Every structure is written in structure tokens, then in C-alpha cells.
């Protein structure tokens, strides 16, 4: 229906393991496939320390992944785009499971809008972030948010990871996203004060709703109740 | 070469292709659209465009003389993806049913699935794409082909769109 903003259900998962988040995303992906009418969802979570790789597996042989496991992190291969990255407590992980038919059927557009959403979140914190030929959101030469998605039959999964007060030392063991010579940063590092995931979430939801011109509803409330985004 | 001219027009704009066909053969556009293998009756240079069929997921398949189908993605698809940086393609010998996922293309940190236009067996994959994945963007109908497969059930071709139908389909999506 033209002119009607799509509804996106916000699902707050809290701290969940990576495999559990993958399983839950599949539930929402399947919901798109099996029900008529829109079923967009936005999953929010944090992960215990985990390194993940994407579609391109060749740069990451088993031996390398085993060395990362010895650090005490989980390691998982995935089918998303992008190279190796780290997820851990203090990092806001967001998995939009959208059907692009309800928005725009272009993966390039979708990724660009995700980047703009995060640039907007940073701006709300007074941080000047930018995009570059390398997908992701940067503050100068340091990446503040990683993006890596998967799209099948126009249904998206995986998503973005915004560093709030993540322990950045975990990134020291990898070349994040395969980009040599660049660093990583977080909202806390940029603002020199503690910025938690909880503080960042409302800004992310606001920016997402604005950027994607959609109505966010909370999974706990009825869709008609006005959809609080806080 | 006339064939090169045709490739260029394929990669730039569908609308230039149909006029070429009507010029070379005295048939009405309607009859052209309804004949599946009309490629055989046209000049050699136009067989390539004549045999292209499209899926609603923007893959194309071109039936070659030997009955093998060459598969790729359309100009619309490569534009929607952005710059392709990696092609995940199947092993030779893989059996595919129509609409089976057969691989994925990576662009802008997004992995997008590819779906088989027909039922058949993978007989070749484009090894040039390993070092030059950008061919999918630069030459999606020619050098950026993805794989070749046998055609297990030729009737499945009937369900695919010809170029004119695909053009209409694209326009309906963009509205």
C-alpha cells in the first residue's frame, strides 16, 4: 500500500549467544516467507565475546580461528557479507529482518541507509561520523560501527554492530573487517565518558524509524498503542 | 563486429536490442516474443539476445547451441547490488532444482543469494570471477557470466520471462 509507513517490530533479546541470535533471526526470516502481509522485525542484542567471519572464508583458516578461541571467545563462520569482526558486551548489535519489498528492492540502498542511520546516531551524540568506500561507519580513520548483511529473496538478516563501551582490546587480535592500517573506536572512546548500550538504543531506534520512514513497535505492546521506542 | 555492437547495447539498454531484431528479420515484435528458440532463424549476431530468458529474481539464462545454459544476473540486479567483490559459486557437478540457491554475490558487505533459473547440473563456473569479480558489474551479460548448466527440463524455460516481459517487470518494480 503506497503511503503507509511499514511497521517494524522491535525485539529486545538482551545478552544472547551468537548461535541463538542466528536461530532467532531465522524465525523472523521464516515469518516473512510463511505469512502474508509484512512481518518486519528489528532484533537488538549484545553477545558474549565472539569473532565471526563472513561469506569469504579463505582468509580465515581453521588454525587462525582456533587461536582466537584460545583467547576465550567463541568463533563462528556466517553467510553474511563482510570479513572478520568481533562482537562483545558493550556493543549494540542490531539485526533488521526486513522484507525489502516493503522498502526498496536494492541491497546497495539498504546498506547505505543503515550507514546513514548510524551516522545520524553518532550525530545525536555530537560525534561527526562518516562513510567511506569501505562499508561501515567511521570517525576519522577508526571504525565505530561494522556492517555485514545477508539477503535472500529480498529478506535481510545479520546487520550492524555499534561500539558503545566495548572492550576494544578484543579487536587487537584481528584485522577488523580485513582493512589494514585503520583502527576501531566507540561512542565512549569518542566522548571520553561511559556510554552504554542502553543509552544508545533509543537513539538508534529514532534514527532508524526516521531513515527508513517506518513505524517501530515494541514486541511487548500492542501495535496500536502508539509504539513507544524507548 | 556486429556481435560486439550487440553486446554493448545489451549492457547499456534493453531498448536498443529489440529494434535490432526487428531490423534483421521481417517479423512483427509480437511473433518474436512468442517463439522460444527463434534465435535459430535470426542472424548469428542476434542469437545471444534472442535466447535470453529471465527470472523474477533477476537471473538470466541463455541457451547455447549445445543445449547448455549460461547463467548470469541482469543489469538491474548488478546495479542494485553495487560493486561485486566476491562471487560464491557452486562446485561443478552440483545438481540444482529450479529456484534452488546456487551461490551468493558479495557487494558492500552484503551477501546476496543467487537462485537457479532451471533444473540441471552445473558443468562450468566462471573462474575469471575469482580474480575479477567486478566483471559481474562491468559485463553482466557477457564476461560476467556466473555458471553454465545442463537443462534437465526444457519446459521450465516457458515459465521464464523474455526480454520484453522482463523489461515490463523491471518497470513495475521501480514504480
Counted domains in chain A: 1
Domain boundaries along the sequence of chain B: 55-174
Task: Please say if A214 is a catalytic residue.
Answer: no
What residues 35-64 of chain A have any CB closer than 8 A to a CB of chain B?
54-56
Q: For residues A43 and B107, what is the distance between their CA atoms, to the nearest angstrom?
A: 23
Q: For residue B14, is pLDDT > 80? A: no
Strands B120-125 and B147-149: antiparallel
CATH for A13 = 3.30.930.10
- Whether A68 is in a domain gets the answer yes
- State the count of interchain CB pairs (< 8 A) between A and B: 72
Nearest to B114 by CA among B132, B131, B136: B136
ipTM for this model: 0.88
Each residue of B112-122: pLDDT tens digit? 999 999 999 99
Which of B79, B82, B104 is opposite residue A55, by nearest beta carbon?
B104
Q: How far is A79 from chain B (nearest CA, A)?
A: 7
Please report where in the chains the cell 528458440 appears, as a residue: B37
- Its pTM stands at 0.83
Which of B101, B110, B173 is opposite residue A105, by nearest beta carbon?
B173
B173 touching chain A per CB within 8 A:
yes
CB distance A24 to A219 below 8 Å: no
A136 touching chain B per CB within 8 A:
yes
Active-site pick, A94, A122, A164, A177? A177
- Whether A223 is in a domain gets the answer no
Q: How confident is the model at residue A40 (pLDDT cuts 50, 70, 90)?
A: very high
- Whether A2 is in a domain gets the answer no
CATH number of B55-174: 2.40.50.100
Element (H, E) at A149: strand A142-152
Strands A50-53 and A74-77: parallel
pLDDT at position B167: 94
Amino acid at each position: 500500500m503506497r503511503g503507509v509507513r511499514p511497521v517494524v517490530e522491535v525485539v529486545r533479546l538482551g545478552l544472547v549467544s551468537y548461535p541463538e541470535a542466528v536461530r532467532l533471526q531465522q524465525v523472523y526470516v521464516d515469518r516473512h516467507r510463511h505469512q502474508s502481509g509484512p512481518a518486519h522485525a528489528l532484533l537488538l542484542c549484545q553477545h558474549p565475546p565472539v569473532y565471526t567471519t563472513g561469506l569469504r572464508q579463505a582468509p580465515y583458516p581453521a588454525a587462525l580461528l582456533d587461536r582466537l578461541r584460545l583467547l576465550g571467545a567463541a568463533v563462528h563462520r556466517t553467510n553474511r557479507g563482510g570479513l572478520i569482526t568481533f562482537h562483545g558486551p558493550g556493543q549494540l548489535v542490531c539485526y533488521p529482518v526486513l522484507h525489502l519489498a516493503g522498502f526498496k528492492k536494492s541491497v546497495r540502498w539498504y546498506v547505505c541507509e543503515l550507514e546513514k542511520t548510524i551516522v545520524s546516531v553518532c550525530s545525536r551524540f555530537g560525534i561527526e561520523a562518516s562513510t567511506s568506500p569501505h562499508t561501515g561507519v567511521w570517525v576519522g580513520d577508526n571504525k565505530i560501527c561494522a556492517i555485514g548483511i545477508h539477503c535472500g529473496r529480498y529478506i535481510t538478516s545479520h546487520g550492524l554492530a555499534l561500539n558503545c563501551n566495548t572492550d576494544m582490546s578484543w579487536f587487537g587480535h584481528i584485522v577488523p573487517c580485513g582493512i589494514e592500517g585503520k583502527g576501531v573506536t566507540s561512542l565512549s572512546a569518542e566522548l571520553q565518558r561511559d556510554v552504554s548500550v542502553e543509552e544508545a538504543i533509543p537513539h538508534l531506534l529514532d534514527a532508524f524509524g526516521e531513515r527508513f520512514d517506518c513505524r517501530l513497535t515494541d514486541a511487548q505492546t500492542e501495535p496500536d498503542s502508539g509504539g513507544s521506542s524507548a | 563486429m556486429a556481435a560486439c555492437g550487440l553486446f554493448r547495447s545489451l549492457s547499456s539498454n534493453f531498448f536498443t536490442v529489440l529494434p535490432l531484431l526487428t531490423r534483421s528479420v521481417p517479423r512483427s515484435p509480437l511473433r518474436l516474443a512468442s517463439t522460444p528458440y527463434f534465435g535459430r532463424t535470426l542472424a548469428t549476431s542476434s542469437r545471444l539476445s534472442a535466447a535470453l530468458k529471465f527470472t523474477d529474481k533477476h537471473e538470466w539464462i541463455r541457451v547455447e547451441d549445445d543445449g547448455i545454459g549460461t547463467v548470469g544476473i541482469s543489469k538491474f540486479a548488478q546495479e542494485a547490488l553495487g560493486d561485486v567483490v566476491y562471487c560464491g559459486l557452486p562446485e561443478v557437478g552440483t545438481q540444482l532444482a529450479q529456484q534452488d540457491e546456487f551461490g551468493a554475490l558479495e557487494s558492500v558487505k552484503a551477501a546476496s543469494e543467487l537462485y537457479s533459473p532451471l533444473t540441471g547440473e552445473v558443468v562450468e563456473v566462471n573462474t575469471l570471477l575469482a580474480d575479477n569479480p567486478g566483471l559481474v558489474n562491468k559485463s553482466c551479460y557477457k564476461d560476467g557470466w556466473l555458471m553454465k548448466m545442463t537443462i534437465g527440463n526444457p519446459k521450465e524455460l516457458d515459465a521464464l520471462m523474455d526480454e520484453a516481459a522482463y523489461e515490463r517487470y523491471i518497470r513495475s518494480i521501480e514504480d
